[in-house]
Amino acid sequence: MKSKKADRIFLMTIIFLTIFGFSVFASASLGLLARDGARFSGIAFNQSFFGLFLGSIACFVLSKIHYRLFRKYALHIFIAGIILTLLVFAPKLGFTLNGARRWLSIGGISFQPTEFLKIAFVIYFAAWLSGVKEKIATYRYGFLPFLALIAVIGAIMLKQPDTDGLIVIAMAGFGIFITAGGRWKDILVLILGLLTVIAVMAFFRPYLMNRFLTFFNPAANSSSSGYQIQQSLIAIGSGEMFGRGFGQSVQKFKFLPESMSDSIFAVASEEFGFVGSFFIILLFVFFVFRGFKIALKSPDMFGGLLVVGIVILVVSQSFINIASMLGVIPLSGLPLVFFSQGGTAMFFTLAEMGIILNVSKHGKSA
């Protein structure tokens, strides 16, 4: 099929999310600038250069590379993702930050290999299912490979620990599996299994138990995660209908923990109000709608599954982040994609957008 131009509407959505997200990040970072100018410089450089600049280049390059090339090297990409993620346990390469061993430091550059593992899983799982096609509904070619992949990834990520990241990968896997024709009963078995593992782990991992206890009674745990939820709700409520104005958040300077990462939605809500918060949610809803439309027009099964997986990676993290800031679900450490601090996450998000744009170039005409 002759290549055409990328989906312009989806491209504009990405550009708008990126610019709006970076603007909110810049505003949220003023709190850190006031407290620790030296640390602010490092984070700002990481977000702008490694995340935004290099990520934009990756998006452009990958939008030019035919997405079917990823199917050819899917297994190699997945193995590379597993190896990189395992390297966080290497004494001289991996290091612990905030109680979790999720980081690699190579040549003076620090990054989270889990971000690469997420897209590596999506590529490999999409390639596998598009290869077995009509056998997807069988135990041997559908459910069992999915279970094996989640088990391998889960063993590594729970060791770090990174429960939130595992949930995101599992959700992307569920979406790909069902879209490909997998059975719902298999998904239910996997969900129950995953929930059981997390429930058991909560008794051995204090941070998990703390999240659940805080969710049911935030006031009883006002010294840590409960405090974060309380301050987040105060910030969101302070924004009222139209917000205090860009850059005018009060909570980010002293009261709101993780204002540039986990709690950045609260900062946006305080500055742009209910209208701005609702607009952010609508942007992600439109992102899903347009992304799935590209998936439906994909010329082959692999392209469609690839797009579905990437879209779910983005929106699952974002909606879980928003829901946790609103106190609807237990607090999570997941970012608001395009908005939250994280050069690695921004780089891979924009790279993934390049893949979707390439799929849209080869899509069927309406």
Q: Name the pLDDT band for 163 (thresholds 50, 70, 90).
A: confident
pLDDT beyond 50 at 1: no
| Predicted local confidence at residue 35, as pLDDT | 67
Inform me whether the pLDDT recorded for 223 exceeds 60.
no
d(CA 335, CA 148): 27
Angle subtended at Cα 122 by Cα 48 and Cα 148, rounded to the nearest 5 degrees: 130
Could you tell me the residue range of the domain that residue 345 belongs to? 8-70+114-361
What does the pLDDT read at residue 220?
60
Q: Is residue 90 part of a domain?
A: no
Look at residue 319 in the predicted model and tell me its pLDDT.
95
Hey, what are 241's tokens?
Answer: 């209908």
pLDDT, tens digit (0-9, with 9 covering 90-100), for 89-125: 988 888 877 777 888 887 777 888 999 999 999 999 9
pLDDT in tens, 307-351: 999 999 999 999 999 999 998 888 888 899 999 988 899 999 999
What is the mean predicted confidence (pLDDT) over 274-303?
Answer: 96
Cα dihedral value 222, 227, 231, 232, nearest 10: -130
Tell me if 221 is assigned to some domain: yes
Show the tokens assigned to 76: 């190699």
Q: Is residue 96 included in any domain, yes or no? A: no
Residue 39 has pLDDT above 80, yes or no: no
Q: Does residue 182 belong to any structural domain of this protein?
A: yes
104 belongs to a structural domain:
no
Is 34's pLDDT higher than 90? Answer: no
Q: Is the residue at 78 inside a domain?
A: no
Residue 101: inside a domain, yes or no? no
Cα separation, 204 vs 38, in Å, equals 37
* pLDDT for 327: 85
Residues 6+ apart with CB under 8 A from 72: none
Q: How many domains does the chain have?
A: 1
Cβ atoms within 10 Å, residue 135? 13
Is residue 88 included in any domain, yes or no?
no
What counts of helices (H) and strands (E) characterise the chain? Answer: 16, 3
